[in-house]
Amino acid sequence: MRFIFLTYFFCLSVSATPFKGSKFVVAGPSSHSPFVSKMIYNKGGNVVDMAIAVAFALCVTHPYYVSLGSGGFALVKINSLTKSLDFRETAPHKMSSDFFEKNNFSSQTGAFSIGVPGFVAGMMALHKKYGKLSWSELLAPALFLAEKGYPVSGDWLNFTNQSKKQFNLAGKSVFFKKGKSYSLNENFKQKSLATAFKLLQKKGGDAFYRGDIGKDVVSSIQKEKGLLSLQDLEKYKVRWLKPLVFKFRSYEISSMPLPSSGGIILARAFRLIEKQKLYKKTLGSFDETHLLAEIMSLAFLPRYLMGDFEFSNFKPELYLSDKNLKELSDKISLEKSVKMPLIKESGETTHFSIIDKKGNTVAMTLTLNGIYGSKLVSSRYGVVLNNQIDDFTTLMNQANQYGLIQGENNLIQGGKRPLSSMSPTLVEKNKQTLLSLGGAGGPAIITGVLQTIYRYLVHNLNLEEALYYPRIHHQFLPRELFVEDKRFSPERIVSLKMKGHKIKFTNHVSRVFAVARNKKGELLAKGDFREMSSAGGL
């Protein structure tokens, strides 16, 4: 532990510039991640060990994105075999599909917005299947950061201060000093959370799902009249799933299946790219931008019908069939935007990726949904709790916080997982790992991952260029094309408007984090410049 203390500030110097390594590399939102990964690697840990340690450390340093009270997805490739893990939150068993119609409660903040957390169960499942080091060793970096503290960043201050009015008393107590804000780079400690990590080290997942941490979570929710119970925690299960795999040119791409909409939409988009021969268009041309927007929009079209596969009869193969995609492709015009019938279509998140010299990789996306989730923090251990219920269809025909109007298959039901846009993704060629990536930013995660892969594979941009390139986003509804503000020429905007696009400028597109392995066997990592990020390794 003394070694950790003496070298702790090394991690703060890790920048967002591209990093090249030979043993492993990591890219993500935190400057602490390369340091934590290096510690675990030097102890003999593998990519999954590193990923678990990084994820727990993010619970400390990025509590507005991820916590013990969150959930997520992971795509894992070990020894040429790829698996996906769903540790998404579930609805409390007492919550019904008409709950928000009958009750005037918020699905975005407070006790009724909270789903049953899957984070701890997910980390336990990964460790049981792949871990080499002891569970206790993997929690040590997070425990150190919670006990000794870390300098708060500008993002930390902005997100924390903007949430102040919505926090419960425990949240205000944890993240403010007698009601006053921290200063930039001031050291922030979380003693109560550190105690929770010690319990997890000693008792594993039982400390959360059957022990004192879970009791603290449930009592804090029920104090606010929420429905989540100890029985909900005890019944929670992760799901190992078969990744959704599809071909694009000579590449094989693996992504998340339902309850993520990401894999299906990505597969549809890449097949429409092939049918439209988009790669023949000049990079950044008016026509390429227009066609890419049309492809995104039509790829999103069936999202309204999607939901947790255990609770719906949605059949992905129908919407990935050549017949369905040819019919859509035939509707695309180079001259104007498609005017499809306006059927009803259908957060904050973070991601990191790790890859080693053998091509073993973990792409993990974690989320509380909104910034600081429900804004409710547990009283005893300071666990930030998600607001994942808003990802369900809480009220028919009304959009959620990301502007998505969702369908009947995504209605709330006890034990059900909400539809997601998280899209941890892996690209291979001849079974060799080329790219491992994912992102943050609600539904724009999918289009951010799409554009990064496309630029990297088709236009041969390097990793930094592919991530830096200006992005657009178009989901089926609303019928609006989002473009990054001040990153497109006036001429291109005029051209898009002339083709019938309703333009919306935004500073909040997806943030993508990627690691790659090039033809020379070199490992590359890059964080997105659109937020504080880091890349590092050995």
Q: What angle do CA 283, 350, 242 make, to 5 degrees?
A: 85
**Which residues are within 8 A (CB) of 285 and not within 5 positions of it... i.e. 6 or more apart?**
none
DSSP tag of 106:
-
Find residue 512's DSSP bridge partners: 439
Q: What angle do CA 178, 181, 186 make, to 5 degrees?
A: 110
3-state SS class at 7: helix
**Which residues are within 8 A (CB) of 128 and not within 5 positions of it... i.e. 6 or more apart?**
none
d(CA 536, CA 531): 16
Round to the nearest angstrom and report the end-to-end CA distance of the chain: 21
Judge whether 349 counts as a catalytic residue. Answer: yes
Q: Strand 251-255: give its sheet, edge to edge.
A: 19-21, 523-526, 511-517, 432-440, 425-429, 251-255, 244-248
Tokens 């925690």 belong to residue: 233
CB 162 within 8 A of CB 21: no
AA identity, residue 173: S
Q: What angle do CA 196, 198, 199 make, to 5 degrees?
A: 65
d(CA 24, CA 361): 9
d(CA 187, CA 334): 55
Q: Is the peptide bond before 478 cis (omega within 30 degrees of 0)?
A: yes
Of the residues 90, 195, 289, 349, only one is catalytic, namely 349
Which of 393-397's residues contact partners 24+ apart within 8 Å by CB, and which partners? Answer: 394/99, 394/100, 394/107, 395/100, 395/101, 397/344
Query: Which tokens go with 523?
Result: 């490992």
Residues forming the active site? 349
